[in-house]
């Protein structure tokens, strides 16, 4: 038993990926990302190993939410015409606060901090908001 544990433990540890590293504080979107945000109304950016959906709603406010659908992990998108967030994999719909409108997701999308500053830059912070 001890022999088995001494073999399996290092193998298990070896296979377990190391935690993602990167800036944990607020992150500025790049010029390209801001361009895409303005063109499509939303952009998906990687922050500390997370896919983050940054969108500009009809009132011009910046919102940041997890881009990972809480059902099966597909990447969601912002549908500006219907003012909702949609996951194409299983037709899940979320409101702009992340709440589930319809479809099979069991949880809302986690929300993050997002803001457009006076100088035009967009800053997001992946510390989850209540």
Partner 1 sequence: MSNDTKSPLLSWLDERYQVSPLIEFLRHKEVPIGAHSMAWYFLGGATLFFFMVQIVTGVLLLMYYQPGEATSWESLRYIMTKVPFGWLVRSFHCWSAHLMIICLVAHMFSTMLLKAYRPPRELTWVTGYVLFAVALGFGFSGYLLPWNELSYFATVVGTDSVKSVPVVGNWLLEVMRGGPDVTINTLYRFFALHVIILPLACFALVGIHLLFIQRQGMAAPVGECHAPRGMKFFPSFAVRDLLLWLACLFLLVALSTVAPYGPNIPGMEWELGSKANPLAPAYPGIKPEWYFLWIYQLLKEFPPHLLGLEGPQLCLLLVSVLMGAWAAVPWMDRQARRNQPSPGFSDFGFAAILFISYLTLKAWDIGAVGNDVDAPASVASVARTCAWWELGLGGAIIAIRYTVYEHRWFLFSGAALLHAGLHGLAGIGYLAAGLVAMLPVVAGVVMIYRAQSRGEETAGA
Q: Is 81 in the site for partner 1 (CB under 8 A)?
A: no
Q: Is 31 in the site for partner 1 (CB under 8 A)?
A: no
Under rule CB under 8 A, residue 99 binds partner 1: no
Tell which phi-psi region holds residue 12, choosing left (phi > 0), alpha (psi between -120 and 50) or beta. alpha
What span, in angstroms and rounded, lies between the C-alpha atoms of 85 and 93?
6
SS3 10: helix
Closest CB to partner 1 among 17 and 25?
A: 17
Which one of residues 2, 4, 6, 16 is an interface residue with partner 1 (CB under 8 A)?
16
Q: Does 116 bind partner 1 (CB under 8 A)?
A: no
Q: How many residues bind partner 1 (CB under 8 A)?
A: 31
Query: What's the CA gap between 4 and 40, in Å, rounded?
Result: 54
Q: What's the min distance (Å) between Cβ of 39 and partner 1?
A: 14
Rounded to whole angstroms, the Cα distance separating 74 from 52 reads 12
CA-based R_g, the chain, Å: 18
Question: Taking CB under 8 A as the criterion, which residues in 32-61 touch partner 1?
Answer: 44-46, 49-51
d(CA 51, CA 39): 19
Among 5, 8, 88, 127, binds partner 1 (CB under 8 A): 88
Q: Report the SS3 class of residue 8.
A: helix
Chain positions contacting partner 1, by CB under 8 A:
12, 15-17, 20, 44-46, 49-51, 67-69, 71-77, 87-91, 100, 104-107
């Amino acid at each position: 038993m001890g022999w088995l544990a001494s073999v399996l433990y290092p193998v298990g540890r070896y296979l377990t990926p190391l935690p993602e590293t990167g800036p944990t504080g607020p992150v500025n979107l790049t010029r390209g990302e801001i361009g895409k945000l303005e063109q499509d109304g939303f952009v998906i950016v990687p922050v500390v190993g997370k896919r983050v959906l940054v969108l500009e709603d009809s009132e011009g406010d910046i919102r940041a939410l997890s881009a990972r659908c809480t059902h099966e992990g597909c990447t969601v998108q912002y549908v500006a015409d219907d003012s909702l967030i949609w996951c194409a994999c299983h037709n899940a719909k979320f409101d702009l606060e992340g709440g589930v409108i319809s479809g099979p997701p069991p949880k809302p999308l986690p929300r993050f901090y997002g803001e457009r500053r006076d100088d035009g830059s967009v800053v997001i912070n992946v510390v989850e908001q209540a």
